[in-house]
Amino acid sequence: MTIAEKIAAHYLEILKLLGEDPERDGLQSTPIRAANALLEATEGTNMTPEDVVGNVLFKTSSQGMVTVANIQFFSTCEHHLMPFEGLVHIGYIPNENVLGLSKIPRMVEMYARRLQIQEQLTEQIADAILTSSSALGVFVAISAKHSCMRARGVKSDGEMITTFASGKFFDNAPLQDQFWNSVRATSRG
């Protein structure tokens, strides 16, 4: 029996506990679909930054800030197993190397595809970029909407914003302002 089939068996029992008829038309394949969706939503669990970055660093003499803004992500709240989604903005100061541009959203995807909380996601992305590139500093900001807050409980449409600063960005208001100005510049037409 595959992992998906084992998870599907549990979803089948959950449907029964909810009083549903798992044999009705709309639910017949739901357990396996839900199992496959959960596996996809958590596929980053056993990946590492090394798996994503490999040896794709490029030499540079630049020490100017690199900013990658508006990286869309989807994740799953570890508290309620409900999705949250939003945008990640990343700035870093290179130290002789820059990451391949596509590696940055892949890093975000790897950490987002885990059972997760936003605060932890923010710090994990920053740490991975810092470690993978030996950057002189990293700043990560995430804004997200959480369905665990929007669809249940308080039912608020609020947006959560988290930030993490390290290295040259830590306690450096002018550099953080430069980061935010770069992010804002991406939203202009």
Tell me the catalytic residues.
77-80, 118, 146, 148
Residue whose C-alpha is closest to residue 127's, from 111, 138, 116, 136: 138
Rounded CA Rg of the chain: 20
Is 69 in contact with 34 (CB distance < 8 Å)?
A: no
Distance CA 128, CA 132 (A): 6
Q: In whole angstroms, what is the distance from residue 159 CA to residue 142 CA?
A: 10
Core vs surface per residue 148-182: b (16+ CB within 10 A) or e: bbbeeeeeeeeeeebbbbbbbbeeeeebbebbbeb
Q: Where are the beta strands (DSSP E) in the chain?
A: 57-59, 66-77, 83-93, 97-99, 115-116, 137-146, 160-167
